[in-house]
Homo-oligomer: A and B are copies of this chain.
Amino acid sequence: MKINQFGERALIQRISGLLSGGGNIVVGAGEDDCAVLDTGNEEYLLVTTDMLHRKTDFPLQMTGSQIGWMSVAVNLSDLASKGARPLGVVMAMGIPPDTEVEFIEEVVKGMDKCVSKYGTKIIGGDTDAHDELTLVGTALGMVKKERLIRRSGAMVGDLVCVTGHIGTAGTALMALDKKIPVSQEILKALFEPVPRIDEGMALAGSSSVTSMMDISDGLALSLHDMSRAGGVGFKIYESRLPVLSDVKRLLKGEELLEVAVFAGGDFELLFTVAPEKLDKARKACHLTVIGEVIENGVFIERAGGVEDLKARGYEHFG
């Protein structure tokens, strides 16, 4: 069978099953946003890697600097979702040989801008000649053992929360695709995603969060990932989704739902909080409560009633 008949999540599951686990691995391949290692020290070491490339991940309108920024941000977002403090990023760059050196310099400056903003550094890398611009970042982070937040851990009755706004990056992508003019704020959400490092660390420090991940593959798919990881279900409310008013002016009904819950590209944190700890979480960061944890299933309540929320979103090999 070929990979494209198989799907990304099934492939990851198949691959993970072939690997010898155990040893110093606390969280292994395919289990969470980051791998987690116990190195015998006070804190866990977290590692995450993300491959981005020209055709799929960098719309033509992006500048070199934005491409560099994004290649770092997507990795920092995975650290953020586990409550970790970034330790450094290495970057492997596959570069078409006829690329202008100045363009690569812009990309590297964008990488450096992003790591600097979040208190870390580019510590190393590799360069390689490649047909297509391909950037593979690997981010390292640390978190106190008792502060690590997993995808699992949500309890029935917990509140479901997100940081920031959702659907903005999806709106930008749709607008570029259909050549509809949109605001800089909307485009920036797609081109310069903000990794929620500060929010992730503050939430971890608040001891109020029971489970967390980022929603880079879209809210719906992420809820299903957390459902599978934690053995719980979710019910969210369309009316509570934090969507920019600019986006609401542009899109209605099914189109709005599409960008808000199925499109990927928003690097917000999705997390669960026990109701009595909501105040603590609110002190840690700005958040919106969008639903609650239930026994099983993933549902959305809309004007027309309660619907199944399908496990559909951003998948490679789609």
| B residues less than 8 Å from A66 (CB atoms) | none
Nearest chain B CB to A174 CB, angstrom units:
21
User: DSSP class of A's interface residues: helix, strand, loop or mixed?
Assistant: mixed
| Interface of chain A residues 88 through 111 with chain B (CB within 8 A) | 88, 90-102, 104-105, 108-109, 111
Once the chains are docked, how many angstroms separate the CA of A37 from the CA of B99?
Answer: 31
A95 contacts across to B, CB distance below 8 A: 3, 317
A284 close to B (CB within 8 Å):
no
- Tell me whether A3 and B39 are in contact (CB under 8 A): no
**Which residues of the partner chain B approach A24 to less than 8 Å between Cβ atoms?**
87-88, 121
A120 to B120, CA, bound (A): 27
| Bound CA span A100–B3, Å | 6
- A124-143 residues at the B interface, CB under 8 angstroms: 124-132, 134, 136, 138, 140, 142
Chain B residues lying within 8 Å of A15, measured Cβ to Cβ, are 104-105, 108, 125, 127
Proximity string of chain A (4-25) to chain B, C-beta cutoff 8 Å, 1 when within and 0 when not: 1010100110110011111111
Type the 1/0 row for A186-219, where 1 means its CB is closer than 8 Å to any CB of B: 0000000000000000000000000000000000
Q: Cβ of A242 < 8 Å from any Cβ of B?
A: no
CB contacts (< 8 Å) of A138 on chain B: these are 47, 49, 90, 92, 138
| This chain's copy number in the assembly | 2
**Cα of A153 to Cα of B305 in the assembled complex, Å:** 72
Which of A27-35, A243-251, A258-266, A285-293 touches B? A27-35
List residues of A whose CB falls within 8 A of some B CB.
1-4, 6, 8, 11-12, 14-15, 18-25, 28-30, 34-35, 37, 39, 41, 45, 47-53, 56, 87-88, 90-102, 104-105, 108-109, 111-112, 115-116, 120-132, 134, 136, 138, 140, 142, 316-317
The 28 sampled A-B contact pairs (Cβ below 8 Å) are A2-B97, A2-B100, A3-B97, A3-B98, A3-B101, A12-B127, A18-B105, A20-B121, A21-B121, A28-B124, A29-B90, A29-B125, A37-B87, A37-B88, A39-B142, A41-B41, A49-B91, A49-B92, A49-B126, A51-B92, A51-B93, A51-B130, A56-B128, A94-B134, A97-B317, A128-B316, A129-B317, A134-B134
